[in-house]
Amino acid sequence: MHEWTSDFPEELLSRLHGEATVGVLTGAGISAASGVPTFRGKDGLWKQYRPEELATPQAFARDPATVWEWYGWRRDLIREARPNAAHHALARLARHVRRLAIITQNVDGLHQRAALPDDVEVIELHGSIWTIRCTQCGREREDRSTGPRPPTLPHCDCGALERPGVVWFGEMLPNREIERAHRVASSCDAFLVVGTSSVVHPAAGLSQVALYSRAYVVEFNLEATPASGHVHLAVAGPCEQTLPALVDRLGQTAS
Ligand code: BV8
Ligand code: ZN
């Protein structure tokens, strides 16, 4: 069902036509070239912690200061980061097709900073690092400051401790976002899976939703993942190179 390739077969190019609806699922690999560490790559560690140990409600209940310190460290990295050629390639791809929707597991907001056309929908499955949520009353607020710094932790007007407005392991994804993501995956002509290890559910299940809904599914990654076995095509290489190459190729066929 798939072969690693460095070229783009007609079957893919023909699916990315002017009337096509395209869904894209992105993961940490699309922001790697912007200097934002991936979760499971070699640079995925922070101090002696693995993300899975920090991105949980239990870790926050046990040691909110350490979890806030990790998010403050990531905020600083992300604030300095710029969208890379992969983010910009998706913005360019939107101009070749009728509708493009981006479903991202990333909380860095880099897609929205890549000059996307207004009609491109970005669905943040796991929330945003710039949102802060009250642990009691649930009030959410945008906060782009240098972030709470231990030992002073943010508290809501109601007096309760505030947490990062993201989805942690063991937590349900927001209904609205997962329903919108399912709608995109089940109604698109082509579904691109970019820079994700496809191990975290329910996001990782979206490529199969697309497949069962007869979309042409393409994976862009450096290496094989659990999704590789069921995609139509796997494009090997750094997505900051392969995605721009795909859009350049579309430009050639369009002219
Ligand atoms: C849920 C927080 C219902 C925000 C994240 C047992 C108990 C409890 C739950 C579970 C369980 N078993 C399974 C589960 C479900 C669990 C899960 O899937 N666990 C996995 C690890 C087995 N899922 C959940 O808990 C979800 N909620 O299911 O609720 C429920 C409730 C209770 C009990 C059961 C079920 C919530 C999942 C959300 C977790 N929050 N982030 C934050 O701080 O960021 S997930 C975290 O992983 C990030 O969001 C990240 O985006 C996501 C996925 O990782 P990737 O994005 O794929 O990044 P990764 O580093 O893994 O891979 C990078 C890839 O890019 C690699 O493939 C690499 O090769 C590639 N790459 C690198 N550079 C490039 C590149 N590719 C191309 N070009 C490059 N240049
Ligand atoms: Zn509150």
Q: Which strands make up the sheet holding 216-221, listed edge to edge?
A: 4-5, 233-236, 216-221, 190-194, 21-26, 99-104, 121-124
Contact call for residues 21 and 98 (beta carbons, < 8 A): yes
3-class secondary structure per residue, 186-244: CCCCEEEEECCCCCCCCHHHHHHHHHHCCCEEEEEECCCCCCHHHCCEEEECCHHHHHH
Of 167, 199, 202, 211, give the one whose Cα is nearest residue 55: 167
Pocket test for ligand 1, best of 169, 171, 240 (most atoms within 8 A of CB): 169
pLDDT grade for 3, boundaries at 50, 70 and 90 = low
> What's the pLDDT tens digit per position in 30-51?
999 999 999 887 777 777 788 8
Q: Let me know: does 64 contact 220? Beta carbons within 8 Å.
A: no
3-state secondary structure of 82: coil
Report which of 235, 233, 240 is spatially closest to residue 32, judged by C-alpha positions.
240
Q: Look over the chain and give the mean of its residue pLDDT values, rounded to a whole number.
A: 93
Residue-wise pLDDT tens digits, 210-225: 999 999 999 999 999 9
Range name among 47-51, 63-67, 82-86, 116-120 with the lowest pLDDT average? 47-51
Q: Is 230 one of the catalytic residues?
A: no
Lowest average pLDDT, out of 49-58, 106-115, 203-212, goes to 49-58
Question: In 3-state terms, what secondary structure has residue 170?
Answer: coil
Q: What is the pLDDT of residue 4?
A: 66
Q: How many CB atoms lie within 10 A of CB 8?
A: 18
Pocket-testing residue among 200, 235, 240, 242, ligand 1, by greatest number of atoms within 8 A of Cβ = 200
Note whether 116 and 141 are within 8 A (CB). no
The pLDDT score that the predictor gives to residue 190 is 98
pLDDT greater than 80 at residue 92: yes
Q: Out of 1-10, 23-32, 82-91, 205-214, pick the least confident.
A: 1-10
